[in-house]
Each structure stands twice: as structure tokens, then as C-alpha cells.
Structure 1
Amino acid sequence: MTDAFAHVGGMLATGLAEVTADLAALESSGWWAVVVTYEGEVTCARFTDVRPAPHPRGPWRGPGEWTSSLDEAAYVAGVREIQEAIADGIVYQANLCRVLSAPLPPGADLTGLGARLARGNPAPYAMTLRLPGLQIASASPELYLSWDGDVVESRPIKGTGRTEADLLPKDRAENVMIVDLVRNDLGRVAEVGSVTVPALCAVEPHPGLVHLVSTVRARLRPGAGWPELIAATFPPGSVTGAPKSSALELLARIEPVPRGPYCGAVGWVDADARRGALAVGIRTFWAREGLLRFGTGAGITWGSEPAREWRETELKAARLLEVAAGEDLGERGAARP
């Protein structure tokens, strides 16, 4: 599997040694690339050679015409259904998502797309992964979980606008709701009294938009590891809703297709150093069955305006789809995986 690789955090991982669906492997040894789909399918890939390197380049051609799992009318209807559930006391907030699909041109390689994203939409938790049967190019701005020593951290995003002036009181309220959810999730595996919120609703700029981002931090209790941490917190609260269990049931009824890696977790774990960082799988492309897929969504509250929430999903997708539409066939100067 010499063509398998992962690129994340300026590091290039090659030399694929094994692939497993067992999260307990992250407690063993070695450097691992990790993908957990929103539905809970786990892929952990151990690589033997990890070194600083630029992003590999590869052939890329823009995909065909995009179609959406929910068109505007269906999405607006879904927003209203969630608002009815809020009125009935079933949920306080839920994150309604849609999955876009487009034909993948022959010979297109998500390595090339990942390189384009690195240039055109740099992101703090970007990752490109190529494995047998799995290709992902992510430009995620959101930290789901980091772990260093005994300190774990999550940085949920809630609230999106083109500029800070576009952010509404609804956005802050939604962010605070999700921070409470993340605090509760981390509290299940944290030392008692160790969960803190060092930053609440900070405005963070990203290419083409701004987000409200909070930070939740805790000390992991002795005996807990990645399997326990993910079991307590997955799927990420910012892409589900509150209460999480009720939101998951509601969204499963409204959304017509699986989310896959979108809204799951993508990242890396260094089992030897007991360090790692998993991003929320947003701003993420993946290839399956000849199709390129990409997800986008918005958090729905009682105060949501359905048409505005649709426009937010368009805003989140626009820059990434523009980057993906280009062509990059050059291999000159490429870093080889």
C-alpha cells in the first residue's frame, strides 16, 4: 500500500502498517490516522514513517453537477419540523445537515483536492487521507477533541456569518447551549471538578466567514483512554443538538441519507506520546462509489429563520465548492507520499 498516506498538521505519514476498526488500538503504540463516521464506523490506520513535509500533489479535476440530499424546500420544511419539536419540549436545538454529491471525473485524486484546499482554504485542522477504499480531504476549522498528557480539550463552533456584524443573539445563545452539552459530555470521563471553559463565544475569522468558538477543557480521569473519551462525547455536540439523544432521533427522521465522515471525527493520534487531535469532520470531502460528497448544515433554534438557515448552509459550502471546482493536473514540485 505504498500509495496510502495521511497529511495533517504539516506532517506526512506513509508506510501503512495496519488498519483496524478497534479504537483500543489507539492505546497501543505508533502513529495513527483516525476517521469515525457520524454513524460510528471506525477506521484507524497506523503508519510507520511520519515526518514534516509539504502536502503531496496529485491530479485533480472539478466534479460534475452537484445535487443535494435536501433541496431548499425540504430543508426549510426540516427547519420547521425541528421548531415544532422545540415547541413540544423534545429538543432545544438541532443541527440540520444535507449532503451534496457530484460525479467524480475519472482519474481525479483527492490528494490533488487536498492540496488545493491547503492553498485556497487553509484550516487549523485540515487533513488529507488516502487509504484503500477511503479518500478524504478535509479543511475542518473545528476541534472535536485534543489530548495531551491528561488534558483534553474541545472547541465547539456555533454561530457563522460573513462578518462579525452578521452574528445574531441567537448565535451566542446556541453556542452557550452547546458548551453546556460539551461540558456534560467531558464530565463523564473527567476528574471531578476539572471541567472549565477558558473561552466563551470568541469571534474567530476563517476564509470567507467568521465563527463563534468556545473552549472546554478538562483533565481525563485515570484509566480512561480514547475509547472511553469518544464513547462519552460522540457524535460531537456542535453537529447534533441538545439534548443530544433526542436530537439524534429527530435528525435521523428528517435527514434522508447518512452523513458518513461529515460531522464525524478525522485526525491523528500518537499513541507513544499520548497526544492527538481529532477534528469535527466539517468542510470535508470524501469519495465513494464514483461520487464526490460534501456536507453542510446549520444549527436550528426556536428563533431560527428557515430561509436564513438555508443561506447559512450555502455560505459554509460556497468557498469550498469553488476551490473544488478548479483544475490542478501538475505534478511538478510535488512531495511524494
Structure 2
Amino acid sequence: MSLNAPFSEVPNGKSVHIRQSKASSSSKIIMGIRHSTRPHFGVQFHPESVATSYGRQIFKNFREMTEDHWERVKASFVRGKSGNFAENMQVANTNHLLRQVSVRDKKPWMNSSTDNLSCFVDADEKDPLWVASKDNMIMRKKSLRLRWRKLDQFAANVGGADKIFRDIFTQYGYENTFWLDSASTEKGRARFSFMGAKGGPLWKQLTFRLSNKSNAGHKVGGNLLIEDTNDCTSCTFLEDGFFDFMNKELQSFHCEERDYSGLPFDFFGGYVGYIGYSLKLECGAASNNHNSKAPDACFFFVDNILVIDHLNEDVYLLSLHDQDTEETSWLDETEQKLLNLKVHPLLERKTLTKKPALRTTPGVGLHADKSRDQYKKDVEKCLKYIKDGESYELCLTTQLRKDVGKMDSLGLYLHLRENNPAPYAAWFNFSSENLCICCTSPERFLQLDRNGILEAKPIKGTIARGATKEADQQLKLQLQYSEKDQAENLMIVDLLRNDLGRVCEPGSVHVPKLMEVESYATVHTMVSTVRGQKRLDVSGIECVQAAFPGGSMTGAPKIRSMELLDSLEGCSRGIYSGSIGFFSINQTFDLNIVIRTIVIHEGEASVGAGGAIVALSNPDDEYEEMRLKTQALAKAMAQFDEM
């Protein structure tokens, strides 16, 4: 953010260096500050400059100033004029004090209903994921039990994940089905796939829509529709918003650790679904100018789950039930169905799922909401905002659409995953909303595991694959050493370090992998990894609120960038730029960034795409990058349309 405080407000004792603004000779911007008596210095710069010669010079200057200061202190100590030499200083461990302050002080990203609670850690501190509050301690928790079975090295013997999903969950249609699909498992990017459907006694669907009046005040609310396994529905207005509701829901469950400790994954029951981009309103965003046609959040509570371990080809069957129930019928029936499966020769994709004859616009490609010229003008506006100091990076997006009528969306997804597999892919059908999601995302937004480790894997920087091995390697190196892409990636890494720092133990946030290039079927991408240890007084939902929407889809600084983008883009992003994944009943979660995704809602297919605009951006190049990110999806739709 820009330091544009009036010069008159600078406290006494500060020496200020001022740089004239090019926009106005009368405008003065603080670029550097120094205390007149203490060794305190400040400079206005953004982390992407660290990757340039100017960044190196800043650090060199700081090092020299530090060395010079301690040389003078040492000389003073030797002369007997000071007893405060660094070797005699003892620095207390501040982690405990910082934790006390963070618990006591109001968290700006928390909902008002929890702002004034004095949180505390349960006596059993060995569980880093347990969160308690005065209200929650007296809340009656719903005790659940988990039963599960394992079929060793079974998946490959019956034709793989797609055959298991079709034969077990879509034999009579694919209404209300889900599949968190690790279709690409290269280099340990992902390992497990989770799938299921409506049917268990605890199953229910949550459908949330923000109130049209959400912009009017500071408090965000919306309407929640709940449908249970017997098709009974209820509707309520959530005054404190969706995240507050989910936080209370997840804290109301209790399952004995011994029931799931033997599982190599963290999701064994809970909520699966998506968080739409508009829920940024519950995470500090100042505006939401466009209402989403699709619900702002949709989740299934799933109690029966089939899990595939792609590393070992093991299949797990899990059933969550009330503590007093001994029901095992789903486990028995599903295990028998799996054992009855036979390996069939690979059929043509069009015979795997039969497409309805009714097609409204066959052969017509995706139509962009904005023309090339309009998109380039938006890029130029972003560049002006950046030049004026309003933002450092703006992740500009647009939508492409096509009328598809009664498309076989599952058939499209199966075709898409075959040609463009991704580690954080997903399929969802919410039949009551006439909504299907075909997601092939390569990007993890945020994960919390049972050890309390938070991990984000932002992507910034994309280039097409080459036609030959030599050309492909050259393009990969071009991306790796691109100054512009490095700047984009580094800014988002810094943003996520800040987001995670708000909910992690002080000093625990680190970057084990910075700007690594990963290769997929059609593109190379630049990926970084940010990790931290979650604080004990923070819930999983609160971690999501601290970082949502993912910084790779907003820009930096996040709040102001979202406000600027809201004024530029002209329509709601909807599900695109949000997150798909799970929230387990033990408060672990794993969420992706919704990119490379086809959303089919009310007979219309939409694809969101865009790119990060920085000072080095070129409008023509940005338009081509946006189109590149849609090519695999557009090609898959065209091929499927011709089947």
C-alpha cells in the first residue's frame, strides 16, 4: 500500500525523505523515513523489487547501516560509555506474549459474533486442531462414529477411478454426486480422490445466497436453504454470514480420533462443495457490485465416501453415522458392487455416457463477454491504477460463455479429465440448482492437515507447452527466468505470507519452494509453496477467512485490488476464482482455486479466465494469456460436441 500520509502528520523525531509525484508537483509521497535518535529506518518498496538490482541495493544499504550502527555501539561500549552492547543483550521468547495479544485483540477478519469471545485452548493441547470458546464448550456436540474398510491395490484392477465413479455412483443418473478428483498425481502433487452421492441418513445440502442488501452495511448476511436426505427443506437467514454458520457447524461435531487415526488422509466425512468469489464480502472486501447467478456457496454434508489412494491403488470405503447406530449396509453393498466389477475394454467416450439428442447450439464456440479491444482497454486501466500507486498487481478476469442446453456434463468432464488431468480437479452436480461443475484446477488455495500445518500453493506465471521436446524445454526456461512472471509470483507469495501470518504461530510461516515450474498437459506454470503452523486459538474456517479469496486471483494489496477489479470487470465471477474442496468434521480442509473450470448452470456453460497485470504488462500479451488459459477447455468442449 502507498504511504501517502500528509507531511504535517509525521511525528517529531522522524527524518523524512520526500519524492515529488509525477502526477502533481504539489503532491508529496513519503518514500523513506529515519528516526533522528534511534536506529529505526523505513523505506517504501514492494517485494518484487527484491528480484531486481534495486532490491539488492536496498538490502546492501540496510546491511551496511546495521554493521555501521553496531560498530559504533561496540566502540562506545569499549570506551565505557555504554553498557548496552549486543553481546550483553538477552531477548525474551516473544511467541507466548504474541499469542496472548492475538487472542485478546479483536481479529479484523472474524465475524462479529465471535469478536468478543475470550478464546482458550483445551487442556488437551496435544491436538493442535482443537479450538474452544466459552460458547462452544457448553454447546452439545454431535457424537459421530466412523467405520471404514480397505481394498488393497484394487482400483487399477477394475479400470481406474472413472470406471469406479460411473459404476458405483452414476448407474442411475448423476444427480447430487461429487468427485474431488486427483486426476494428475505426478511428483506428489496430489494422492487421493474422494467421491460419493446422496443417500446416507446424515446427508444434506446447503445452498447459500448473499443478501442483495449485503453492500448496505458492515454486516454480511444471506439466505441458507437446507435440504436433507428425505428431500425436506428449511430456509433461514444467516445474519452473521455463511462462514460463521460453517464454523459453528464444524465445531459441533465430535468423532473419536481412534476411528480415523489409521487413515492416510484427512477427509472422512463432512462438507464438500464450493465457496463462490462473492463471499469475499465476509472476508473484508469493501464491495460486491455484481450478484452471482449461481448460489454463492453450495455444499453437501456427506456421510458415505469412497476414497482412492492413487499411490498404492487402494480403495477405502468410509461410513459416518450417529454414535448409537450400528448401520453397515452401505459398506456391505458398496464393497459387493466393487467386487462384482469386471475390467472391460476401454470403450469410446461417447458410449460411456449417453448424450441427449437435444442440443441448442452445436458447433458454436465460447463467446467472450468482452472483445479484444475492450479487454485491452481494461488492462490499460489497470496499468494506470498501478502507475498511480493504487495497486501493485491486479488480477483482471473476464467470462466466456456458450448455450449448451441439456448437455451431458458428466460426459464432458470425463473427456476433459482424460485430456487435461489436474491434481485439484473436481466434478459436482447440484441437481436442485441445475448446476454442474467441471473443474481441472492445477492450483491449491489452502490446506490444513491434522498436524495443524497450513499450506498454500499459488500459481502465477503461465506459458503454453512446445510442439517439440526442444521447444518445450525452451519455453519452460523462458517462464522460469521471466522477470515479469517472477514479479507476479513473488508479490502473491508475499501476500499469502501475510495472510497465513494472521493465523499462524509467530515465526512459523516459511516458503519451502519459491517459483518452481510445473508442467501440465497444455501449459507450464510457475508455482510457489507457503506453509505455517496454525495457532491453537484459531479454527479452520477462520484460516480460510483470513486468506480468501486466494491472492493469486486478486492482486496486491488485496482489499483495494478487489475494489478496483469490481469496478472494471462488469459482471460477477460466480464460482470462478472461488474455491472447491472439503471441510472434514475434525476441522481439516483442502481447497483449490477455481480456475480452468467449466460451470454449467441453467443451460449455459461459462469459463472464467484472466491474468495478473503488473507494471511490466503488455495489453496484447495479457489478452493472449487470457485466451491461452481457455484453450484446453474450449477444445474439449468442441471435441465432445462432435462425438
TM-score by length of 2: 0.49
Q: Once structures 1 and 2 are overlaid, which stretch shifts more, 119-128 or 184-193?
A: 184-193
Separation in structure 2 between the aligned mates of residue 63 and residue 18 of structure 1, nearest angstrom: 38
2:195 is the alignment partner of 1:12:
yes
Separation in structure 2 between the aligned mates of residue 307 and residue 263 of structure 1, nearest angstrom: 23
Q: Which amino acid in structure 1 is aligned with residue 178 of structure 2?
A: A
- Secondary structure at the counterpart of residue 126 of structure 1: strand
Separation in structure 2 between the aligned mates of residue 59 and residue 28 of structure 1, nearest angstrom: 42
Separation in structure 1 between the aligned mates of residue 642 and residue 377 of structure 2, nearest angstrom: 41
- Secondary structure at the counterpart of residue 90 of structure 1: coil
2:362 is the alignment partner of 1:123:
no
Deviation by residue 1:129-186 (Cα, 9 ceiling, x = unmatched): 1112131110000000111020110000001112314422100011000000001011
Q: Which amino acid in structure 2 is aligned with residue 5 of structure 1?
A: T
Find the counterpart in structure 1 of residue 603 from structure 2.
290
Find the counterpart in structure 2 of residue 218 from structure 1.
532
Give the direction of change, closer, same or farther, for the CA distance of 1:323–1:2 in structure 2 (3 Å limit). Answer: closer
Separation in structure 2 between the aligned mates of residue 2 and residue 310 of structure 1, nearest angstrom: 36
Find the counterpart in structure 2 of residue 241 from structure 1.
555
Q: Once structures 1 and 2 are overlaid, which stretch shifts more, 28-37 or 263-272?
A: 28-37
- Secondary structure at the counterpart of residue 496 of structure 2: helix
Separation in structure 2 between the aligned mates of residue 166 and residue 59 of structure 1, nearest angstrom: 43
Q: Which amino acid in structure 2 is aligned with residue 111 of structure 1?
A: L
Separation in structure 1 between the aligned mates of residue 636 and residue 457 of structure 2, nearest angstrom: 25
Separation in structure 1 between the aligned mates of residue 457 and residue 594 of structure 2, nearest angstrom: 13
2:448 is the alignment partner of 1:147:
yes
Separation in structure 2 between the aligned mates of residue 327 and residue 200 of structure 1, nearest angstrom: 37
Deviation by residue 1:188-221 (Cα, 9 ceiling, x = unmatched): 1111111110000001001111011000001111
Kindly state the Cα deviation for residue 52 of structure 1 after the two structures are TM-superposed.
Answer: 3.3
CA contact (8 A) 2:194 2:307 kept: yes
CA RMSD of aligned residues (A): 2.2
Find the counterpart in structure 1 of residue 328 from structure 2.
none
Separation in structure 1 between the aligned mates of residue 445 and residue 363 of structure 2, nearest angstrom: 29
- Secondary structure at the counterpart of residue 43 of structure 1: strand
Kindly state the Cα deviation for residue 48 of structure 1 after the two structures are TM-superposed.
Answer: 2.1
Find the counterpart in structure 2 of residue 333 from structure 1.
none
CA contact (8 A) 1:65 1:103 kept: no
Give the direction of change, closer, same or farther, for the CA distance of 1:63–1:142 in structure 2 (3 Å limit). Answer: farther
Separation in structure 1 between the aligned mates of residue 605 and residue 478 of structure 2, nearest angstrom: 31
Within 5 Å, which residues of 2 pair with 1:113-262?
113-131=412-430, 132-133=432-433, 134-149=435-450, 150-162=452-464, 163-167=475-479, 168-262=482-576
- Secondary structure at the counterpart of residue 492 of structure 2: helix
Separation in structure 1 between the aligned mates of residue 565 and residue 642 of structure 2, nearest angstrom: 39
Give the direction of change, closer, same or farther, for the CA distance of 1:191–1:74 in structure 2 (3 Å limit). Answer: same
Separation in structure 1 between the aligned mates of residue 597 and residue 567 of structure 2, nearest angstrom: 23
Separation in structure 2 between the aligned mates of residue 129 and residue 28 of structure 1, nearest angstrom: 26
TM-score by length of 1: 0.91
- Secondary structure at the counterpart of residue 266 of structure 1: strand
CA contact (8 A) 1:298 1:312 kept: yes
Separation in structure 1 between the aligned mates of residue 427 and residue 631 of structure 2, nearest angstrom: 20
Find the counterpart in structure 2 of residue 276 from structure 1.
589
Q: Which amino acid in structure 1 is aligned with residue 503 of structure 2?
A: V
- Secondary structure at the counterpart of residue 325 of structure 1: helix
Identity of aligned residues (%): 33
- Secondary structure at the counterpart of residue 575 of structure 2: coil
Separation in structure 2 between the aligned mates of residue 138 and residue 241 of structure 1, nearest angstrom: 22
Kindly state the Cα deviation for residue 296 of structure 1 after the two structures are TM-superposed.
Answer: 0.7
Find the counterpart in structure 2 of residue 81 from structure 1.
381
Structure with greater proportional strand content: 1
Q: Once structures 1 and 2 are overlaid, which stretch shifts more, 284-293 or 62-71?
A: 62-71
Q: State which of 299, 304, 321 in structure 2 corresponds to 1:44.
A: 299
- Secondary structure at the counterpart of residue 442 of structure 2: coil
Give the direction of change, closer, same or farther, for the CA distance of 1:261–1:95 in structure 2 (3 Å limit). Answer: same
Which runs of no fewer than 5 residues in structure 1 stay unpaired? 331-337
- Secondary structure at the counterpart of residue 32 of structure 1: strand
Q: Which amino acid in structure 2 is aligned with residue 145 of structure 1?
A: L
Find the counterpart in structure 1 of residue 321 from structure 2.
none
Separation in structure 2 between the aligned mates of residue 220 and residue 199 of structure 1, nearest angstrom: 19
Structure with greater proportional helix content: 2
CA contact (8 A) 2:540 2:589 kept: no
Kindly state the Cα deviation for residue 115 of structure 1 after the two structures are TM-superposed.
Answer: 1.0
Structure scoring higher RCO (CA < 8 A, sep ≥ 6) equals: 1
Q: Which amino acid in structure 1 is aligned with residue 371 of structure 2?
A: D
Separation in structure 1 between the aligned mates of residue 363 and residue 574 of structure 2, nearest angstrom: 19
CA contact (8 A) 2:503 2:534 kept: yes
CA contact (8 A) 2:412 2:640 kept: no
Count of aligned pairs: 327
Q: State which of 21, 31, 35 in structure 1 corresponds to 2:274.
A: 35
CA contact (8 A) 2:512 2:529 kept: yes
Higher Cα radius of gyration: 2
Separation in structure 2 between the aligned mates of residue 27 and residue 295 of structure 1, nearest angstrom: 34
Separation in structure 1 between the aligned mates of residue 563 and residue 429 of structure 2, nearest angstrom: 32
Separation in structure 1 between the aligned mates of residue 394 and residue 485 of structure 2, nearest angstrom: 13
Give the direction of change, closer, same or farther, for the CA distance of 1:321–1:166 in structure 2 (3 Å limit). Answer: farther
Kindly state the Cα deviation for residue 27 of structure 1 after the two structures are TM-superposed.
Answer: 4.2
Separation in structure 2 between the aligned mates of residue 327 and residue 63 of structure 1, nearest angstrom: 10
Which runs of no fewer than 5 residues in structure 2 stay unpaired? 1-172, 182-192, 209-244, 254-268, 280-295, 309-314, 316-351, 465-474
